Copies of this chain bind each other. A is one copy, B any other.
């Protein structure tokens, strides 16, 4: 039964896993430096929690989990084929970390003081077509500020995007920002009805990916009048060229005011404000955004799309709590970024082990002494691979080479009798005999 890889899912061998972990450690460090506190939630949520929070787009992403012991035949007779699915499954894998956050804030509303600045680093699952750089399971690193409607929260989130990217050694990136209230005002101004807003925004959001003509076709397919669609794209062009000032004619000013205030603060908060700019075509796919939205792209790998995105969602917590709680946040897609970093040569994935020493015993009798040597090196702070076996020193040295462990500490009868070791440098092939005390001092 030779294993066949599952499309859209990825294994990480040690070199990749260590590099990915280094990235995650850095991200976590930045998040904590900004005062965000971690939470953990289950991978599995009720379908009633997951559904209807993020629009059809969100619903279609859910991997449902089969209920055990359900009577399929009876369910089919009683509920028909749709109802049976309900009967088969009442939970699913989370497709983001935002919906579980909203559920958590509602569930523990008595215990969580607001504003709640939390981070969450975990996997999410999306039942969509796998493609290069797009996975069905991937890690997300989310920071959110729940319980503040202040644009200071929005600006802090953008500052955190900059700090995170810089901590990952990436300085060639752009943060494009927009505001759903601006987009809604634009849609209203060209007479696109409310019921078509989400569909129109999802098409607009694909501008860079599928091009202007296809956006128009898509919008028309959704029922947007061609004239309105054309006017919308012209307005978008105008705003792209002229900035927020070009939107002077919009009747509803709330979005323009929010974004102006946010960008004003951002100018003070970040080290390089030139990386952050208004882009009227940024919309974000999910339905729950209500204010500013953010996307971060890599200048040297724009084809991977947005690596750190988010926005303000002032109504989502209210879906669970019964009263609105404003919230804003951003999510780093660690696996998309990691794939990009591998492609750009920004990360080293060649290591095979964390060990810097291997300890090799020449025969079984020296294993206890070899273990003592290994323990002494570990106590001195080194990562040490004690070869699980003894004898055949050539095999052990070859293995050290295969794992790129730089130093092999060899112990035989002589060494054990004199508290000494023979240290072999794998690259120079030179070896010296020293006392254990000397080794620990080196």
Contacts and interface: CB of A to CB of B under 8 A. Distances in A.
Given A11-B41, A37-B355, A43-B123, 14 more contacts: A2-B321, A3-B46, A3-B49, A3-B106, A12-B39, A13-B111, A13-B112, A18-B38, A72-B76, A72-B84, A73-B76, A113-B403, A152-B387, A268-B371
A407 to B, nearest CB: 12
B64 A38 contact: no
Contact of A265 (B73, B319, B367): B367
Nearest to A138: B42
Given A81-B72, A123-B43, A390-B152, A35 B353 contact: yes
Given A11-B107, A44-B137, A1 B37 contact: no
Interface stretch (A85-93, A175-183, A192-200, A426-434): A85-93
Interface stretch (A274-282, A285-293, A378-386): A378-386
A213 to B, nearest CB: 29
Given A17-B40, A152-B390, A73 B81 contact: yes
A269 B370 CA distance: 10
Contacts of A108: 11, 13
Nearest to A404: B113
A35 to B, nearest CB: 3
Interface in A1-20: 1-6, 9-14, 16-18, 20
Nearest to A264: B368
A268 B374 CA distance: 12
B49 A152 contact: no
Interface string A61-80: 00111101000110010000
A34 interface: yes
A88 B66 contact: yes
A32 interface: yes
Contact of A32 (B13, B145, B354, B364): B354
Interface string A358-395: 10000010011001100000100011111111100000
A238 interface: no
Contacts of A319: 1
A17 B38 contact: yes
Contacts of A76: 72-73, 76
A345 interface: no
A150 B390 contact: yes
Q: Which range contains the number of A residues in contact with the other chain?
A: 35 or more
Contacts of A355: 35, 37
A242 interface: no
Tell me the dominant secondary structure on chain A's binding face. Answer: mixed
Contact of A385 (B35, B39, B371): B35
Contacts of A372: 268
Interface in A333-364: 351-355, 358, 364
Nearest to A386: B156
A388 B320 contact: no
A159 interface: yes
A104 interface: yes
A273 interface: no
A260 interface: no
A118 interface: yes
A139 B356 CA distance: 28
Given A14-B37, A383-B35, A388-B148, A269 B371 contact: yes
Interface in A91-128: 91, 93, 103-104, 106-108, 111-113, 115, 117-118, 123, 125, 127
A21 B2 contact: no
A422 to B, nearest CB: 19
29 contacts: A1-B48, A1-B49, A1-B319, A1-B320, A4-B46, A6-B91, A12-B39, A12-B40, A13-B104, A13-B108, A14-B38, A32-B383, A33-B383, A33-B384, A34-B386, A37-B353, A43-B137, A63-B65, A65-B66, A115-B387, A115-B389, A117-B353, A117-B385, A150-B390, A152-B364, A152-B388, A152-B390, A265-B367, A268-B367
B20 A40 contact: yes
A399 interface: yes
